[in-house]
Amino acid sequence: MDLQLAGRRAIVTGGSRGIGRAIARALLAEGVQVVIAARNAEALKATAAELTEGGVGRTVLPVVADAGDDASVRELVEQTVAALGGIDILVNNAAKPGGAGAGGGGTVALSTADAAADFNVKVLGYLRTAQAVTPYFTAQGWGRIINIGGLAARQVGLASGSIRNVGVAALTKTLADELGQHGVTVNVVHPGLTLTADDGGSVVLSDEQIQAAAARIALGRAVTADEVAALVTFLASPLSVAVTGESIAAGGGTLGPIHY
């Protein structure tokens, strides 16, 4: 299937590792020019080199940016437009895996300072980048925003993770309702336990913990970052126009609950 993405221009935040890197790779395979953004310059440089290896004509621009800072986000978008001539797709993925307090202790043990910092990057960071790209999207009458949330939005257990991912879902629906008339769709993808080629995905778990978690997944296994990326790439395409404002689970199926 031709996803009609060739020549489009995308920003992937948190693009130096894990799910973000897999998304960047999938977009590149469809002919998208990709800016990967993260705070670590060396990691970005290494990922850009990896993504362009053997890919003739692939465009990957690494940009150091902090989603938690207004000026840094504006500079990210300005650099993208200057280098690529515009922007069509935004994938928001910058976040601390698992969220603040992922080590345990529950809400009572959660530091409000840590929770605020977490919220600033994942929820307000997603808002910042959406605000920065919206003028370009509305001017051209087309755009795609895909926010990466997490299945913690649908269950308790990770206090900050649940709070921030519900916030991302609310932000997604609000943006979708406001921007739909301008040809812009906005969706959130909620990965669950996700296997990556590095430690940039979900909270690092032991083999025993992964097996126990897999028993609660309909597929009987964890999904991979590439499988999540395939869904995101479709949502970034013109073919996904009928889907906007939706929260889409990408965790291999959660046994039990019915979501409708």
Tokens of 231: 């869904």
**Predicted local distance difference test score (pLDDT) of residue 220:** 94
Domain count across the chain: 1
pTM (two decimals): 0.93
φ/ψ (deg, to 5) at 60: -130, 120
The answer as to whether 260 is a domain residue is: no
The answer as to whether 255 is a domain residue is: no
The answer as to whether 154 is a domain residue is: yes
Distance separating alpha carbons of residues 183 and 189, to the nearest angstrom:
20
Query: pLDDT tens per residue, the chain (260 residues)?
Result: 899 999 999 999 999 999 999 999 999 999 999 999 999 999 999 999 999 987 667 899 999 999 999 999 999 999 999 999 999 999 999 988 766 666 666 788 788 898 899 999 999 999 999 999 999 999 999 999 999 999 989 988 777 888 999 999 999 999 999 999 999 999 999 999 999 876 444 456 778 888 888 889 999 999 999 999 999 999 999 999 999 999 999 999 999 988 88
Per-residue DSSP letters for 197-255?
SSS-SSS---HHHHHHHHTTBTTSS-EEHHHHHHHHHHHTSGGGTT--S-EEEESS-BS
The answer as to whether 1 is a domain residue is: no
**Predicted local distance difference test score (pLDDT) of residue 200:** 44
Domain that holds residue 104: 9-250
**Predicted local distance difference test score (pLDDT) of residue 196:** 87
Distance separating alpha carbons of residues 127 and 184, to the nearest angstrom:
15
Asked whether the beta carbons of 15 and 39 are under 8 A apart, the reply is: no
**Predicted local distance difference test score (pLDDT) of residue 202:** 45
The answer as to whether 197 is a domain residue is: yes
The answer as to whether 256 is a domain residue is: no
**Crossing angle for the helix pair 18-29 and 225-235, nearest 10 degrees?**
50
The answer as to whether 92 is a domain residue is: yes
Question: Rounded to 5 degrees, what angle do the CA atoms 140, 141, 144 make?
Answer: 100
Distance separating alpha carbons of residues 182 and 160, to the nearest angstrom:
33
The answer as to whether 259 is a domain residue is: no
**Which CATH number belongs to the domain containing residue 171 in this structure?**
3.40.50.720
Sign of CA dihedral 255, 256, 259, 260: positive
**Predicted local distance difference test score (pLDDT) of residue 46:** 96
Asked whether the beta carbons of 80 and 11 are under 8 A apart, the reply is: yes
**Predicted local distance difference test score (pLDDT) of residue 219:** 94
Find residue 12's DSSP bridge partners: 36, 91
φ/ψ (deg, to 5) at 17: -160, 170
